[in-house]
Amino acid sequence: MDFDHLYKTLADQPKYRVKQAKEAIFKQLVSDWSQSTTLPKELKEQLNQNCSLEIKGQIFSAQKSKTTKALLTLSDGLKIETVLMGHKDGRQTVCVSSQVGCAMACKFCATGKLGLSRNLTYNEIIEQVLFFDRYLKEQNSRVSNIVFMGMGEPFANYDAVLKAIKYFNDSEAFNIGARHISISTSGIIPGIEKLTAEKIQVNLAISLHAANNKLRSELMRINDRFPLEKLLKAVDKYIQKTGRKVMFEYLMIKGVNDSLKHAEELSRLMAKPLHMVNLIPYNPTGVYLPSSQHTIDQFKNYLRKRQVEVSQRYTFGQEIDAACGQLANKAKKVAK
């Protein structure tokens, strides 16, 4: 699917045709133009030839945690993974990918091991959500929330990510409120600065994982380029300008960053308004081990005592390798 192509094809048509085409794609959720009830037959044939709506995907479901993973095949044959999480309250969150692989090479992350193949286009980011909207249609449900926590570093592909977000937000397209859209970054400061200046106010999450430069650089190479003090300063500016809460993601890795000394360090960095910590149980990818729930509870209680707002992330889809940091196109690896 290619929206630029679509607009070009419709350029010499009356203006309302664009609206009708968007209705077919986003409201009727058609996967073939012939299913559109409003467009004329000739145009539908032309569109089927020039702007196919087909999204190639394979589905993996985990009933236990209401998680569905899709392995999508892009037009050049590369594959990406995207995950749908069904919440008890009816929310349907899609965890979208922004790149094929990732160049950041964080030690704990399966995507990081792949290296970067290429950026996704905004069309390919949109397709991930459209794929699940079509899937949910049978259950009379729709995607309600989007998190950029799949494969890739969203701020290394800033323009495509922001363009996709405009579609997510557009009332004629997905109509998802900016408050229901979150970007997670490993801490690319220029991206945080650009987002600070945007009109659209999506949620910002920072993958922190360590509260001192030595350990953070060991886990995340990007910390050498954007060290903690500069990163936190950029976040302060974002908070000043937007007045919005920022979520700091903190992986709990056994014996690496999970002691009370680490909690003390973290509590000092977080002793500011609108900073909140989200503790993430580590999904093993072969390098480290996860902290025990007892250790996580102790860490959490320590932070709470220090007045830090803290929550623990529910883990979705471990059994189908669909949880955070596990997306690594197993099918691609087997084929190699």
Catalytic residue positions, numbered: 81, 324
Can you name the residues that pair with 146 across neighbouring β-strands? 94, 181
State the nearest-atom distance from the C-beta of 253 to ligand SAH, in Å.
9
- Whose Cβ is closer to ligand SAH: residue 24's or residue 109's? 109
The correct pick among 282, 299, 302, 316 for binding ligand SAH (CB under 6 A) is: 282
Smallest gap from residue 54 Cβ to ligand SF4 (A): 28
DSSP element (H, E) containing 56: strand 56-62
Contact partner at residue 251 from ligand SAH, ligand SF4, none, CB < 5 to 8 Å by partner kind: ligand SAH
The interface with ligand SF4 within residues 66-105 (CB under 6 A) comprises 102, 104-105
Give me the helices (H) in the chain, please. Answer: 3-9, 16-22, 41-50, 110-114, 122-137, 158-169, 189-197, 213-219, 222-225, 228-242, 260-269, 293-305, 330-335
**Residue 324 touches which of ligand SAH, ligand SF4, none (Cβ within 5-8 Å per kind):** ligand SAH
Q: How far is the CB of 279 from ligand SF4 (least distance, A)?
A: 16
Return the one option of ligand SF4, ligand SAH, none that residue 280 interacts with (CB less than 5 to 8 A, by type). ligand SAH
Produce one character per residue of 149-170: b if its CB has 16 or more CB atoms within 10 Å, e if not: bbbbbbbbbbebbbebbebbbe
CA-to-CA separations, 196 to 26, 76, 181, in angstroms, rounded = 29, 34, 15
Single-letter amino acid code for the residue at 33: W
Interface residues toward ligand SAH, by CB under 6 A? 108-109, 149, 153, 184-186, 207, 249, 251, 280, 282-283, 285, 324-325
Interface residues toward ligand SF4, by CB under 6 A? 102, 104-106, 109, 111-112, 152-153, 186, 207, 325
